[in-house]
Amino acid sequence: MNQTSIEEIHRTKDGKVSDKWASYLPFYDELFSVYRNQPIDLLEIGVQNGGSLETWSTYFMGARALIGCDIDPLRGELKYSDSRVSVVVGDANQQETLNRIRSICDRFDIVIDDGSHHSNDILNSFLIYFQLLKPGGLYVIEDTHTLYMTNFGGGILNEFSAYSFFKKMVDIVNLQFWENDINPKVYFRTFFPPEGIPDFISEGWIESVEFRNSLIVVRKSLIATNDKLGKRIVSGREASVNPAPLGFKD
């Protein structure tokens, strides 16, 4: 069974050009290793020269569908020998393009946003495609350093940027500890109208948010719940220093 790393596949590949920052590659090996031999479905928004789809094709040997989406019509001319790979041309945030993607596959294990890198596009894509993730799936946003740039709709003090939105997601992961103090609808008033936030946020589908240099990874929960901490579990019998924990023991 082929166990070549993503980094090795990327660095040694021929064929279509793939452009990734060096720090992504070992991290992707760690992040995606559990999926590599599974029958996964993957969507990548932003195709460029198409080389990353070849990388995913080589790495994810058990994959069923590997879909790329790009707004540039030239991407529609890309050809692949792997029948699992397909490219949809269009704006990923438009309903017509979404319908064409869903006609190929409507549930994904991994979504990678390597699209325009503009703040509004990143946010809109997340609101659309996170809902198509299977429970436990991963939503990866690349090149988020652009969200510090005003010409990409970002900026370090821009409270309307996608980065500000995802920082709020950290609090959503911990919603059970503050939901009685402030309504989540109020907390997200910068981004959503008063009638409310998307159900998948308030229902507890956000399991975790990881920030790395130029990457954001959002993991979808296996089940929708805001009670994420779980039951307090105390083991052992000796508590000569502080016996208080024994009061929580079954």
* Beta bridge partners of residue 217, listed in sequence order: 140, 210
Residue spans of alpha helices (H) in 45-145: 51-59, 95-104, 119-129
Determine how many CB atoms are found less than 10 A away from the CB of residue 128.
Answer: 18
How big is the chain, counted in residues?
Answer: 250
What would the two tokens of residue 249 be? 């023991």
What would the two tokens of residue 171 be? 């609090």
Instruction: Report the C-alpha dihedral over residues 180, 185, 191, 194, rounded to 10 degrees.
Output: -150
Instruction: Report the C-alpha dihedral over residues 74, 149, 153, 27, rounded to 10 degrees.
Output: 60
Euclidean distance between CA atoms 118 and 162, whole angstroms: 9
What would the two tokens of residue 136 be? 């436990």
Out of 10, 117, 118, 145, the active site residue is 117
117 counts as catalytic: yes
* Residues with catalytic roles: 117
